Chains A and B, each alone.
Chain A
Amino acid sequence: MLYRWLESLIIAYVALVNATYFVLMLVGYFALRKKSDAFSPKDIDVLLKSPFVPSVSVLAPAYNEAATIRDSVRSMLRLRHPRHEVIVINDGSADGTLDALIDEFRLYRSSRVALAEIPTAAVRGVYESRDPIPLVVIDKANGGKADALNCGINYARNDLLAAVDADSIIERDALLQISRPFLERPEDTMAVGGIIRVANDCVVEHGAVVAVKTPGNWLARFQIVEYLRAFLAGRTALSFANCLLVISGAFGMFRRKLVVEMGGYRVDTMGEDMELVIRIHRYCRERHIPCRVAFISDSVCWTEVPESRRVLQRQRIRWQRGCAECMIFHKRLIGNVRFGSVGLLGMPYFLICEIFGPFVELTGYLITAAGLTLQWIPLSSALLFFVVSVLFGLLLSVTSVLFEELTICKYPNPRDVARLLLAGLLENLGYRQVLLLWRVRALFQVLAKKQRSWGEMERRGFQRV
């Protein structure tokens, strides 16, 4: 009896979650068709001379990045924007990151004053370039990514803040493209997220991706499909309903004044990027400030994703823990009418699909296995449900690849598209189940209040010309 009841509950849950994903996919598709096109090269040339484009401070926290930091900073300085400054925050690196920057960019110890006073780990020095380049380097004691970003916010001077990962590649016009919502709706746009694309095996020349290829590594291929699904379907739909709760830490833009007023990033969570976005929604809605958090699919940031199981596991555990911590911090918003679409759609979506999802899915697998062993359910039924679930995953993946074709269409070779479709099929047979176990493990870590640790990201480096 209990078994039947549990089985029905799980089937109902799966139906609800699948219906949610299906609706998100459809909203994402129609919203993508409605969205404004990217700025044309002609518009960009005009905007580069325009005094009305809000100025941007690009914040790039760096920890032990001596090998790549010169190229990264050069690439950030080359971004096309009428008024942008680059602030690199050396977060207590021990590998000579600061020395590399001092040598390369002729830095001197400057007296730049911090305009905001968000508490951070001790600042050891601020450096600026003797050359006429808008570069500021802050050397501080190690305090983690959020702390480094807060330090950068203190020293930023411009209207907008762009938080980026120092080891990612931002497309040259991405800073202007991501500014678009701030120009279109300056009265209520508070934050904008760009799209993160997988750069593994892509060819990089002078800090720009010049040839896009699908990577040889299957883990990386699965992640391409995952990223497409998450960004082009999920985030587009959630942003359309103004309940986008995540802006990737690798590339997002925020209003400086608002972030300073809110006290910057929270340092006691692994999901500082998600927490900031939820807090923006919460802060604005509590004070009746019009607030919109947008997502722009034309603003591209390329990043290297993990190709080893160990690093991927650490990353996913970190993400899941971050998400769970955000739900705990802001539990008051869940189902709360006062917070509009965020309280009624965004937060419940994350709670049901991202937090409860792994537990329910794992329970489903376990009771199916138990049912088969004890012969409570026939093999044909178990197989059918498995096939339905794989097919649904595949349908979402195929649609995401289709979205890619409809929007930025970065894979010129049809063979790459075929590979992505294959990856969409195969990810349901093993990869998804392994991710599920890691996510459950992360949730147990949150419940057990296990200490946080970021761990190292092993990078292969971009394939350069």
Chain B
Amino acid sequence: MLTRDAREVYSKTLAVSLIFFLVIGSIQHLLQHRIHDRVFRWATAFALVQIIAIVSLSLGLLASRAWASMKKSIDDQLRPAIRDRVMALAFEGESWSSSVPERGPARRVLEESVAHALVTLKPPRRDRIAQFAVEWKFAAQWTEEFASSRSKSVRRRAISLLGPLSPIVGKTALSAALHDEDPIVRSEASRALLIQNDHAGVENVFRSLLSESLLVRALLASELKRHTRFWLNHTIPVLLEEGNRLEVERCLEMLIAWKRALPTFDVLPWLSRDRDRSLWPLLFALLPYVAVDDWIEDYLISALASNHVPLQCEAAKAAGRLRLERLIPALSATLHQDRQLGLASATAIAQMGEHGERHLEKIAAGSDRRAAAVAMEALEHITVRV
């Protein structure tokens, strides 16, 4: 099945190819009476079309360059004065005495300066610029651009500028942008909604984020961190109980990424349910941030004894971070197994202070070469890095 983009690209390619072929065909038809050899005639027509294409493309290229550089030089002349006036409006609250240009280079530079001020300044200076942008129809222009432009970069810019204006112009465009095809536009809209601090909006963003691509989650992870407490108390408990497995996994990944203490989060019910065993690696990765007791050791020992390397690795890392000395024998038993697991276990043992170090030294001097190698590396990281 072709995607929408693919269908569009291939149909345009087909259309242009057909036009190209039709033009060549028409030209060769016109040449019918002048050139009698068929191959020769087609070749001549092809050559003529190519010449037209090359000349028009080259001239177009050079003309667009010249036009862009001319536009830039005009803008460069206007920019300092206009930008100073916009900054004066933002910092000193000076009113815009002269009329605002409706079109032309001055309007373009003013729009650019207002946009620059909106994304760089903080309230209350930004609020003055926002008011100005609404008053002089820049907000309407950006809303229109977002709604009608097919260019991702235009939509992206429009939505990033509409974000700071949303207290005045409303959230309609931002809510629509949450469903845009471009992930960056969606993340810009989510970010703008998160800044509003409105609980319903924030909850909505978090829930929709769990079905988002990794890119959007990566772009929003740190922005979401500010709302950890709200989510821990409201959204996450409901989601963990009712959400589907993918949502639960992504929710746990987000909690791990935030690296924040989660004193109220209880992992025991999850670990004790057999159907949630596939979540164990994520739950183990979460261990340093949640409150646990001695019971955790049994779960970690059971995980280390399993034959599932990713789970064993996470269990080893958790044991190291929690400095559970009683797990040293279980960790040692995995040193000669998979290299990655061996390394995770050796590093965990090394984290357990003097006792762990002594144990590793013995293994390093032992006859099991595989275990000795990972023990050496773990020991080296303590000595050299210190």
Contacts and interface: CB of A to CB of B under 8 A. Distances in A.
B373 interface: yes
B218 A30 contact: no
Interface string A391-410: 11011001101100100000
B9 A398 contact: no
A265 to B, nearest CB: 20
B380 interface: yes
Contacts of A22: 17, 20
Contacts of B217: 52
B222 A108 contact: no
Contact of A51 (B43, B65, B257): B257
Contacts of A51: 221, 256-257, 259
Interface stretch (A275-283, A305-313, A343-351, A414-422): A414-422
Interface stretch (B49-57, B88-96, B104-112): B49-57
A4 to B, nearest CB: 11
A52 B218 contact: yes
A9 interface: no
B231 interface: no
Contact of A184 (B51, B183, B374): B183
A5 to B, nearest CB: 14
Contacts of A11: 39
Interface stretch (A72-80, A110-118, A266-274, A457-465): A110-118
B9 A395 contact: no
Interface string A4-19: 0000000100000000
B152 A37 contact: yes
B16 A183 contact: no
A27 B10 contact: yes
A26 B16 contact: yes
A401 B46 CA distance: 22
B377 A111 contact: yes
Contacts of A185: 213
A52 B43 contact: no
B47 A391 contact: yes
B219 interface: yes
Contact of B214 (A30, A183, A240): A183
A31 B8 CA distance: 9
A381 B50 CA distance: 17
A436 interface: no
Interface centre among B217, B218, B379 (most CB of A within 10 A): B218
A387 B69 CA distance: 34
A128 B384 CA distance: 10
B340 interface: yes
Contact of A26 (B17, B60, B62, B384): B17
A68 interface: no
Nearest to B50: A391
Contact of A112 (B16, B221, B342, B377): B377
A388 B339 contact: no
Interface residues of A, number: 55
Contacts of B253: 52
A51 B255 CA distance: 11
Nearest to A241: B6
B66 interface: yes
Given A34-B5, A52-B214, A183-B214, A384 B47 contact: yes
Contact of B152 (A36, A112, A113): A36
Contact of A34 (B8, B54, B257): B8
Given A111-B373, A186-B214, A398-B57, A414 B380 contact: no
Contacts of A37: 152-153, 156, 184
A367 to B, nearest CB: 15
B182 interface: yes
B121 interface: no
B104 to A, nearest CB: 25
A23 B13 CA distance: 7
B61 A388 contact: no
A365 B317 CA distance: 67
Contact of B58 (A186, A387, A398): A398
A399 B16 CA distance: 14
Contacts of B58: 398, 421
A388 B43 contact: yes
A414 B13 contact: no
Contacts of A381: 37, 40
Interface in B334-374: 339-340, 342-343, 373-374
B229 interface: no
Contacts of B257: 50-52
A374 interface: no
B182 A36 contact: yes
A351 to B, nearest CB: 22
Contact of B340 (A23, A27, A115, A418): A115
Interface string A38-50: 0010010011011
Contact of A391 (B9, B54, B213, B380): B54
A392 B20 CA distance: 13
Contacts of B10: 27
B258 to A, nearest CB: 8
B215 interface: yes
Q: Which of B60, B62, B182, B184 has the most CB of A within 10 A?
A: B184
Given A51-B257, A183-B213, A405 B13 contact: no
A130 interface: yes
Given A115-B343, A414-B69, A388 B219 contact: no
Nearest to A180: B215
Contact of B46 (A110, A111, A388, A418): A388
A262 interface: no
Nearest to B57: A398
B57 A399 contact: yes
Interface string B21-63: 0000000000000000101100110110011011001101110
Nearest to B4: A34
Nearest to B48: A391
Contacts of B17: 22-23, 26
A79 B5 CA distance: 32
Given A47-B219, A384-B44, A414 B376 contact: no
Contact of A384 (B40, B223, B380): B40
Given A388-B46, A402-B57, A414-B69, A49 B152 contact: no
A50 B219 contact: yes
Interface in A403-453: 405, 414, 417-418, 421
B53 A395 contact: yes
A113 B9 contact: no
Interface of A: 11, 22-23, 26-27, 30-31, 34, 36-37, 40, 43, 46-47, 49-53, 108, 110-116, 128, 130, 132, 180, 182-186, 240, 381, 384-385, 387-388, 391-392, 394-395, 398-399, 401-402, 405, 414, 417-418, 421
9 contacts: A23-B17, A36-B182, A37-B153, A47-B218, A128-B384, A388-B46, A391-B54, A399-B57, A418-B62
8 nearest A-B residue pairs (beta carbon): A52-B218, A183-B215, A111-B376, A391-B50, A51-B257, A30-B9, A26-B13, A50-B218
Given A52-B218, A52-B257, 7 more contacts: A51-B221, A111-B379, A115-B343, A183-B218, A387-B47, A394-B54, A395-B54
